[in-house]
């Protein structure tokens, strides 16, 4: 087996003629570079802090699952399952799919680990990449990232209200301006079938003018027409009878209770009478958080209640409520001056001349062990000028200059980048001098 890898190689290596063309990231994917990573990490840190306040704990499920999980959990008629999944066979012929969303995998894990035995309400969140084969466009990639939450085990409207409060608190802490919580209902098994019929009857006369997707949805999943992004269809959908007119008494009561709890918690919201969301498993509460600045596709995120999903996947008849936020978009919405994503370096150590490298390594080590962020480029042949330019590019606060003279005398020169202020001192005073210069 040791050599099996080599025997798999089919392309012969041409002597002296290796193919060295540049390989780029696969279409629809992108690198998140170090210059932007601090904003990603900040979003994740705020999510973890805020969700912990409400007793939510992280779950990490695999990136791929059995294809059947998504076919059953999301619904065969949805765009996701019909045309957007990355599905492949492994070496034993099993059909696997890169997760296009994570509610079904979390529900699968909930069932598999019998979490319903452990607690009445299981509060879970996840952070990670999802995969959908969509036409790449600005702000939309085939590998994208979601922060999501699932509260499984109760259909009490208090769960909806508390989870929505948590969501809005999270977004508030990220200082994202002018957000609106739109609250809707997808009905339930009592009232949704009648609405579905009424919607089909209302849309059928317009069939010829609908987009291709909506004509297909009219057969497979007519409620999904309400989410259409094509402007002409959107105008039509804004006119159709809202599901609010068809809600049964139990659904109306549930919606009323969610609203009353939100009011009690001080969470502002508006009603969205046609917000049903297309996924088959939604039941009763649906919502979106919109921001006018995002334009036509103004929804920053959405979610809702999915009371039938766990049972559909072979688990106990428990209810769930959750949401997923597109992290890529969320990061773009952050205000530029948001505090909290500090990733600046404290010190660049600049050794000048070969004899300075050893002392520079020792100084860098002392600084790091006292908690400072330090970079040392071992390029003693570089000029002071080019070391300063490097420090500027790295946005370091200080440069520690160790030239031949400093090394000979056992001293240092510390330069503050903000104003060029420079101080010298004997080696043992380094940490104290840095601390003084940081605070005055
Ligand atoms: Zn359409
Ligand atoms: Zn109902």
Per-residue H/E/C for 101-155:
CCHHHHHHHHHHCCHHHHCCCEEEEEEEEEECCCCCECCECCEEEEEEEEEECCC
Measured from the alpha carbon of residue 203, the closest ligand is 1
Ligand 1 centre and the CA of 212: distance in Å?
Answer: 7
Ligand 2 centre and the CA of 70: distance in Å?
Answer: 25
Alpha carbon 220 to its chain's center: 30
Measured from the alpha carbon of residue 228, the closest ligand is 1
Measured from the alpha carbon of residue 186, the closest ligand is 2
Better-predicted residue by pLDDT, 186 or 35: 186
> In this structure, are residues 115 and 152 in contact, taking their beta carbons and an 8 Å threshold?
yes
State the pTM of this model: 0.86
Ligand 2 centre and the CA of 201: distance in Å?
Answer: 20
Nearest alpha carbon to residue 424 among 433, 416, 138: 433
Report the C-alpha gap between 377 and 387 in whole angstroms.
9
> In this structure, are residues 276 and 292 in contact, taking their beta carbons and an 8 Å threshold?
no
Nearest alpha carbon to residue 64 among 128, 125, 116, 110: 128
pLDDT at 107 over 90: yes
Rounded to the nearest integer, the mean pLDDT of the chain is 90
Mean pLDDT, residues 50-54: 97
pLDDT at 16 over 70: no
Ligand 1 centre and the CA of 231: distance in Å?
Answer: 8
pLDDT at 9 over 50: no
Report the C-alpha gap between 8 and 186 in whole angstroms.
52
Q: Residue 13: its pLDDT value, please? A: 52
Ligand 2 centre and the CA of 185: distance in Å?
Answer: 9
pLDDT at 106 over 60: yes
Ligand 2 centre and the CA of 321: distance in Å?
Answer: 17
Q: Residue 258: its pLDDT value, please? A: 98
Q: What is the pLDDT of residues 159-198, one digit of tens each?
A: 999 999 999 999 999 998 889 999 999 999 899 999 999 9
The model's confidence at residue 15, banded by pLDDT at 50, 70 and 90, is: low
> In this structure, are residues 413 and 401 in contact, taking their beta carbons and an 8 Å threshold?
yes
Q: Residue 279: its pLDDT value, please? A: 67
Ligand 2 centre and the CA of 136: distance in Å?
Answer: 38
Alpha-carbon distance values, 47 to 35, 207, 215, 328, 386 (Å): 21, 43, 39, 14, 40
Mean pLDDT, residues 395-419: 94
Nearest alpha carbon to residue 186 among 82, 100, 75, 102: 75
Neighbours of ion ligand 2 (CB under 5 A): 187-188, 190-191, 248, 251
Mean pLDDT, residues 350-354: 92
Mean pLDDT, residues 8-20: 58
Report the C-alpha gap between 185 and 199 in whole angstroms.
15
Mean pLDDT, residues 386-402: 93
Q: Residue 7: its pLDDT value, please? A: 42
Q: Who's near 184: CB < 8 A, 6+ residues apart?
A: 243, 244, 271, 272, 273, 274, 275, 276, 277, 285, 286, 287, 288, 304
Report the C-alpha gap between 353 and 4 in whole angstroms.
50
pLDDT at 296 over 80: no
pLDDT at 333 over 90: no
Report the C-alpha gap between 220 and 242 in whole angstroms.
19
Residue 310 DSSP class: H
Report the C-alpha gap between 101 and 95 in whole angstroms.
17
Measured from the alpha carbon of residue 206, the closest ligand is 1
Mean pLDDT, residues 21-40: 91
Q: What is the pLDDT of residues 122-160, one digit of tens each?
A: 999 999 999 999 887 877 899 999 999 999 999 999 999
Measured from the alpha carbon of residue 212, the closest ligand is 1
The tokens for 27 are 């279409």
pLDDT at 5 over 50: no
Place of tokens 């979610």: 303
Q: What percent of the chain has pLDDT over 90?
A: 69
Which segment of 132-146, 148-162, 315-329, 390-404 scores lowest on mean pLDDT? 132-146
Ligand 1 centre and the CA of 395: distance in Å?
Answer: 49
Which segment of 12-26, 193-207, 311-325, 365-379 scores lowest on mean pLDDT? 12-26
Mean pLDDT, residues 379-397: 90
């Amino acid at each position: 087996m040791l050599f099996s890898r080599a025997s798999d190689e089919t392309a012969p290596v041409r002597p002296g003629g290796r193919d060295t063309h540049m390989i780029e990231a696969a279409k629809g994917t992108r690198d998140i570079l170090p210059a932007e990573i601090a904003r990603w990490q900040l979003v994740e840190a705020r999510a973890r802090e805020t969700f912990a306040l409400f007793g939510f704990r992280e779950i990490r499920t695999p990136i791929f699952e059995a294809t059947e999980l998504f076919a059953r959990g999301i619904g065969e008629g949805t765009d996701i399952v019909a045309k957007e999944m990355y599905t492949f066979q492994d070496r034993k012929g099993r059909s696997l799919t890169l997760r296009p969303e994570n509610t079904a995998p979390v529900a699968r894990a909930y069932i598999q680990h019998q979490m319903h035995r452990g607690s009445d309400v299981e509060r879970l969140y996840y952070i990670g990449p999802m995969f959908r084969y969509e036409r790449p466009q600005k702000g939309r990639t085939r590998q994208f990232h979601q922060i999501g939450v699932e509260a499984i085990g109760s259909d009490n409207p208090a769960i909806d209200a508390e989870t929505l409060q948590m969501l809005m608190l999270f977004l508030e802490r990220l200082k994202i301006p002018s957000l609106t919580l739109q609250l809707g209902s997808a009905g339930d098994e009592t009232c949704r079938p009648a609405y579905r019929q009424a919607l089909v009857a209302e849309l059928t006369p317009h069939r010829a003018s609908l987009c291709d997707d909506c004509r297909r949805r009219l057969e497979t999943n007519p409620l999904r027409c309400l989410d259409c992004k094509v402007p002409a269809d959107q105008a039509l959908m804004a006119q159709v009878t809202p599901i609010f007119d068809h809600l049964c008494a139990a659904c109306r009561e549930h919606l009323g209770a969610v609203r009353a709890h939100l009011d009690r918690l001080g969470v502002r919201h508006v009603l969205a009478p046609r917000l049903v969301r297309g996924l088959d498993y939604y039941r009763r509460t649906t919502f979106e958080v919109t921001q006018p600045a995002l334009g036509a596709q103004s929804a920053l995120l959405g979610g809702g209640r999915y009371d039938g999903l766990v049972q559909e996947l072979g688990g106990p008849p428990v209810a769930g409520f959750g949401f997923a936020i597109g992290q890529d978009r969320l990061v773009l919405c952050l205000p530029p001056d948001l505090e909290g994503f500090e990733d600046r370096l404290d010190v660049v150590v600049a050794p000048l001349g070969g004899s300075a490298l050893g002392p520079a390594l020792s100084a860098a080590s002392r600084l790091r062990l006292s908690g400072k962020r330090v970079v040392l480029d071992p390029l003693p042949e570089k000029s002071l000028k080019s070391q300063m330019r490097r420090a500027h590019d790295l946005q370091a606060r200080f440069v520690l200059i160790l030239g031949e003279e400093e090394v000979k005398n056992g001293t240092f020169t510390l330069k503050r980048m903000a104003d060029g202020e420079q101080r010298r001192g004997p080696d043992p005073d380094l940490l104290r001098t840095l601390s003084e210069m940081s605070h005055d």
